A and B are shown apart, each in its own frame.
Chain A
Amino acid sequence: MLRTRTPHAIHPDHHRLRARVPEKMPVALNVNGVETRLKVAPWTTLLDALRDHLDLTGTKKGCDHGQCGACTVLVDGRRINSCLTFAVMQDGAHVTTIEGLAANGALHALQQAFIDHDAFQCGYCTPGQICSAAGLIAEGRAKSADEIRELMSGNICRCGAYPNIVAAIQQAMGRS
């Protein structure tokens, strides 16, 4: 049963406190090897900072709630959901996005493996899948296909390319 109700209350002190909110805060990030300084509002997620402030649109916004994995990037070598952290919290961090994986003009082993195995259809989840797989390989915990599937479960593919994604990751694991 739904009832009509007043909107969720804001704390009475909020507007007084809000008057002191700084517009923007300085953040230093090393993004794909490049030292980057930017000024962002405290509520700017790392995902929005990458896409809207640094024009690195390879990292995708899917659900924006940490449920789909499309926004996966590596922060200090660990895969995280960039939609669930504020850029100001990552001040000083090293961030690797899909744009930073290829080196010296050669595709990353995972990028090549995703092509070799046709591990995507629409491609929207692919940057997150590949960054997540790079994190998975660095963790060194997944050996079997079951373990790859379990440790990749934070990356949803609505096209259902999962069998080929697992095959691509197995190929890249063999090489690395």
Chain B
Amino acid sequence: MIDFQYARANDVADAVRQMAADPTAKFIAGGTNLIDLMKEDVERPSRLIDISRLPLKAIEETADGGLRIGALVPNSDLAYHPLIEQRYPMLASAILAGASQQLRNMASTGGNLLQRTRCYYFYDIATPCNKREPGSGCSAINGLNRIHAILGASEACIATHPSDMCVALAALDAKVHVTGPARERTIGFAEFHRLPGNTPQRDTNLHRDEIVTAVELPARGFASNYTYLKLRDRLSYAFALVSIAAALELEGSTIKEARLALGGVAHKPWRDTAAEAALRGQAAEQAAFMHAADLMLRDARGYAHNSFKIELARRGIVRALTQAARGTPQSQANKNIL
């Protein structure tokens, strides 16, 4: 690990000021991803600005019936918060599907959004990686790419976004509140993370000198018909090969509203509004679910080792929509998939 200076931020304005003053500084909150990357020499900040003591730990109800989640709320506190459990159980389930309880106790809401890919080559500084070192090449595209993207990838990068929480936030149409030196702004979840294109070094549309202050959930929580189904190599404590956040609002057996997002398949949480639109007005049955899955995967492309993900995702989407329609969400403790 490279040596660095350490400073605490007194408030959000001070954090942003300190960041603007040092071109190689990084914010640190939970530290679970950043410290790991520093130990691997992937991240080499000259200064860490510790924001973990800033007063961004509240979960508050908003005027329009939603919730505003402070950026420093630990993942475990968020998953177990009564309002999240009652109104947004898909978010609680997705959080508990990820990492371990130790990591969830440390990791922050904002940090979860900003975690980096777990692509082997991004982590291995002896190999080229356009995300780590722009222009050096992508080692995964012709290398070991079993865990890599099947949607939205580019010739420059086929890495995936690792978060489970973000898949649920995408499906729930969350917003991200950020503060920069000049102004505050709000970024829709679909616009927060980026596809790799020719600039895979940029995971998000957050500016370097901006800080995430809160994540806002709209009122609609899909608490009755939802699931978060995560498919992976181990039954716990492993990143998704494919994960599916599925949520429905039903009128009798007819789908009134649908949300669908995938994890483990793209450079960002992969929400598909066309597949959602195709479900609206349909009977909540397998034919509609299969059509939505086909739509969602219409542009999917496999590489040497990950083509299995396309069929895995197809079947996973159908299964997740079935679980959501039946009101029998996937348990994150009992691993049987019903």
Q: Which residues of A contact B (CB under 8 A)?
A: 1-3, 5, 7-11, 13-14, 17-18, 20-22, 25, 41-43, 45, 64-66, 69, 72, 78-81, 84-86, 88-89, 132, 135-136, 139, 141, 144, 146-147, 149-151, 153-155
CB closest chain-B residue, reference A136? B101
Tell me, yes or no, whether B198 is within 8 Å of chain A by CB: no
CB closest chain-B residue, reference A142? B333
Q: List 22 A-B contacts (CB under 8 A).
A: A1-B139, A1-B142, A5-B136, A11-B23, A14-B2, A17-B5, A41-B3, A45-B35, A65-B36, A66-B102, A81-B102, A81-B103, A85-B35, A85-B106, A88-B6, A135-B102, A136-B101, A146-B334, A149-B333, A150-B236, A154-B101, A154-B102
- Contact call A11/B24, Cβ cutoff below 8 A: yes
CB closest chain-B residue, reference A45? B35
- Known A-B contacts A86-B6, A89-B52; A8 and B44 likewise in contact (beta carbons under 8 Å): yes
- Contact call B1/A80, Cβ cutoff below 8 A: no
What chain A residues lie within 8 Å of B22 (beta carbons)? 17
Tell me the count of chain B residues lying within 8 A, CB to CB, of chain A: 51
Q: How far is the CA of A81 from the CA of B5 in the complex (A)?
A: 22
Tell me, yes or no, whether B68 is within 8 Å of chain A by CB: no
Q: Which residues of B contact A (CB under 8 A)?
A: 1-6, 22-24, 28, 31-32, 35-36, 38-39, 41-42, 44, 46-48, 50, 52, 76, 80, 99-103, 105-106, 125-128, 132-133, 136-137, 139, 142-143, 236-237, 331-335
- Contact call B47/A17, Cβ cutoff below 8 A: yes
- Contact call A1/B143, Cβ cutoff below 8 A: yes
B79 to chain A, nearest CB (A): 10
- Contact call A154/B103, Cβ cutoff below 8 A: yes
- Contact call B142/A135, Cβ cutoff below 8 A: no
Residue in A1, A8, A18 with the greatest tally of chain B CB atoms within 10 Å: A8
Q: How far is the CA of A141 from the CA of B142 in the complex (A)?
A: 44
Main SS class of interface, B: loop
- Contact call B24/A79, Cβ cutoff below 8 A: no
Residue in A11, A21, A81, A88 with the greatest tally of chain B CB atoms within 10 Å: A81
Q: Per a CB cutoff under 8 Å, which of B1, B46, B80, B99 touches A14? A: B46
What chain B residues lie within 8 Å of A81 (beta carbons)? 32, 102-103, 106
Q: How far is the CA of A84 from the CA of B125 in the complex (A)?
A: 20
- Known A-B contacts A81-B106, A84-B31, A85-B35; A5 and B128 likewise in contact (beta carbons under 8 Å): yes
CB closest chain-B residue, reference A145? B333
Q: Per a CB cutoff under 8 Å, which of B80, B105, B139 touches A80? A: B105
What chain A residues lie within 8 Å of B32 (beta carbons)? 66, 81, 84
What chain A residues lie within 8 Å of B46 (beta carbons)? 11, 13-14, 17-18
Q: Per a CB cutoff under 8 Å, which of A13, A45, A150 touches B333? A: A150
Q: How far is the CA of A44 from the CA of B4 in the complex (A)?
A: 11
B110 to chain A, nearest CB (A): 16
CB closest chain-A residue, reference B100? A154
What chain B residues lie within 8 Å of A136 (beta carbons)? 101
- Known A-B contacts A5-B136, A43-B1; A25 and B44 likewise in contact (beta carbons under 8 Å): no
- Contact call B3/A154, Cβ cutoff below 8 A: no
Q: How far is the CA of A69 from the CA of B236 in the complex (A)?
A: 14
What chain B residues lie within 8 Å of A21 (beta carbons)? 3-5
B96 to chain A, nearest CB (A): 8
